[in-house]
């Protein structure tokens, strides 16, 4: 609105100056106006030399050379009484109304242009200044609302975040006894462990506005833009308090500051400084919670992760056996399963899977079941989906000779035999020589449970199982092939860690 008023004011100043200038120019170059009685006496005295009529206005030139203008009420009567041989009479069209209409048209077009330019400038300024309001996401009250019931496998994190929900719902419960809720919570952990989902669940449980941003949204090419966006975001958040501000991948803007000076570093530094200042500016009554997530907590700036800004760090790790079973139960509510499908068995064969990978597993199994024309998902579909996620799509175009198939079969059999005979090793789940991804075959072992520590005997058995394929090739064919490349890499890595890291 300020831009429109300013441009309109300038427009009227220009019009006023043009009007005054034209008025002065007209009066300086116009002839004097004489009354009709004086004009009549000049006619009777034969002093008129030339007459130029423009409508009812006449420009008179006397014999002496003096000129003036006069308004003639009856032009026909005057011209009829004159002798054309003595007085030169000229008629000109009257352009006064035309000039007036043209001036009004030009002024109207100019005013319309000023209004349009002001409107577009106002829209651009609004879109740049109200950066936060454009990305405001309010939780839905219907079926799309995400709550803690949609999050599983992280009971400790849910229990700790329940305190935040209680504060947002009833802040007086804590403020009456002088307790201050943490200003910021940092969710850290590997990708796919449910950091973003957990942040949305907090907003869904509390029923408050949820601002969702990525760290890269604040990093721009021009220095100062990111800092301005941070200020706009927190200004908008304070208007809608209580609320939650969630910054995903905060390491994009909150990485440790260095002494290297560059445009990108200056932009990140100013944006980080603005974020630090805004978080320090919270009062105990603002009721704003800042959530952030990162996969790299080790590179965050020390000033960002100190108490008073991000007071708490909540670490999310891949779920254990019970956690995976609960996550599968959440995702399997949306699909149709056979009665004989055991989610505990699926949880056992997905050791190390994150929540996102388990969701992908259920979706891949549903796609395979739909492709086969089944009415419900069977356990075989989960098995195929697991192979597809871990190894890749089946390579049906690979052609193996009989000799290659024999070597591949004995190679995988060597892994299986060693794994079967050695104690304290994971049981063999499946042996396949169907090429998938980069692997031509695989011997899969199914852990009986989640291991938190590995014994020396287990690691030695693991190395022996990896080398069993090469040993089988040497015993049966008395030769060595390159199929043991990946086995040798894994065995070398385990042996190196046993010596250098685990002693």
- Which residues are identified as catalytic? 412
Q: Taking the CB of residue 434, how many other CB atoms lie within 10 A of it?
A: 14
What tokens were used for 432? 């396949």
Cα(307)–Cα(290) distance, integer angstroms: 13
387, HSE (Cβ side, Cα atoms, 13 Å)? 25
Q: Residue 271's closest CA among 324, 232, 316, 238?
A: 232
Question: Which residue stretches of 30-130 are H helix?
Answer: 36-44, 75-80, 96-129
Strand partners, 70: 58
Report the first-to-last Cα separation within the chain, whole angstroms: 71
Cα(418)–Cα(416) distance, integer angstroms: 6
DSSP 229-286: HHHHHHHHHHHT-SEEEEEESTHHHHBPP-S---HHHHHHHHHHHHHHHHHHT--TTS
DSSP 141-176: SSTT---GGG--S-HHHHHHHHHHHHHHH-THHHHT
CB 410 within 8 A of CB 431: no
Cα(241)–Cα(257) distance, integer angstroms: 31
Using DSSP's 3-state secondary structure scheme, residue 390 falls into: helix
Using DSSP's 3-state secondary structure scheme, residue 100 falls into: helix
Cα(49)–Cα(47) distance, integer angstroms: 6
Report the residue count for the chain.
503
């Amino acid at each position: 609105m300020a831009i429109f008023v300013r441009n309109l004011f300038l427009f009227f100043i220009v019009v006023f100056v043009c009007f005054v200038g034209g008025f002065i120019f007209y009066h300086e170059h116009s002839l004097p106006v004489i009354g009709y009685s004086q004009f009549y006496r000049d006619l009777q005295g034969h002093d008129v030399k030339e007459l130029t009529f423009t409508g009812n206005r006449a420009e008179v030139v006397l014999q002496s050379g003096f000129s003036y203008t006069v308004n003639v009420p009856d032009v026909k009567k005057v011209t009829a009484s004159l002798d054309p041989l003595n007085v030169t009479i000229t008629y000109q069209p009257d352009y006064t109304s035309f000039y007036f209409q043209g001036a009004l048209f030009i002024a109207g077009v100019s005013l319309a242009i000023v209004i349009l330019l002001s409107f577009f400038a106002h829209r651009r300024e609004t879109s740049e200044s109200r950066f936060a309001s454009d990305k405001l996401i309010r939780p839905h009250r219907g079926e799309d609302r995400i709550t803690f019931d949609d999050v599983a496998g992280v009971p400790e994190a849910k229990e700790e975040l329940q305190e935040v929900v209680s504060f947002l719902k009833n802040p007086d419960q804590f403020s009456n006894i002088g307790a201050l809720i943490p200003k910021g919570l940092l969710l850290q952990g590997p990708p796919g462990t449910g950091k973003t989902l957990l942040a949305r669940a907090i907003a869904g449980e509390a029923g408050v506005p949820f601002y969702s941003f990525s760290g890269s949204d604040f990093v721009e090419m021009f220095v100062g833009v990111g800092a301005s966006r941070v200020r706009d975001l927190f200004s908008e958040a304070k208007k809608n308090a209580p609320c939650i501000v969630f910054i995903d991948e905060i390491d994009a803007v909150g990485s440790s500051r260095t002494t290297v000076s560059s445009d990108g570093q200056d932009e990140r530094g100013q944006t980080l400084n603005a974020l630090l200042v805004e978080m320090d500016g919270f009062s105990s009554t603002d009721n704003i919670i800042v959530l952030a997530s990162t996969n790299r907590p080790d590179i965050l700036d020390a000033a960002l992760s100190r108490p008073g800004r991000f007071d708490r760090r909540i670490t999310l790790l891949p779920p254990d056996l019970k956690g995976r079973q609960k996550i599968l139960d959440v995702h399997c509510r949306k699909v149709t399963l056979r009665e004989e499908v055991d989610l505990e068995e699926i949880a056992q064969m997905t050791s190390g899977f994150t929540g996102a990978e388990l969701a992908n597993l259920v979706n891949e199994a549903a796609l395979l079941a739909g492709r086969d024309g089944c009415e419900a998902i069977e356990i075989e579909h989960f098995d195929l989906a697991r192979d597809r996620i871990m190894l890749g799509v089946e390579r049906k175009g690979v052609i193996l000779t009989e000799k290659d198939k024999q070597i591949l079969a004995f190679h995988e059999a060597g892994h299986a035999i060693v794994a079967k005979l050695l104690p304290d090793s994971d049981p063999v789940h499946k042996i396949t020589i169907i090429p998938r991804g980069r692997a031509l075959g695989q011997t899969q072992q199914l852990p009986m449970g989640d291991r938190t520590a590995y014994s020396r005997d287990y690691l030695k058995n693991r190395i022996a199982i990896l080398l069993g394929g090469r040993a089988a090739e040497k015993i049966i064919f008395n030769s060595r092939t390159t199929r043991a490349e990946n086995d040798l890499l894994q065995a070398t890595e385990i042996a190196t860690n046993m010596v250098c890291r685990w002693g």
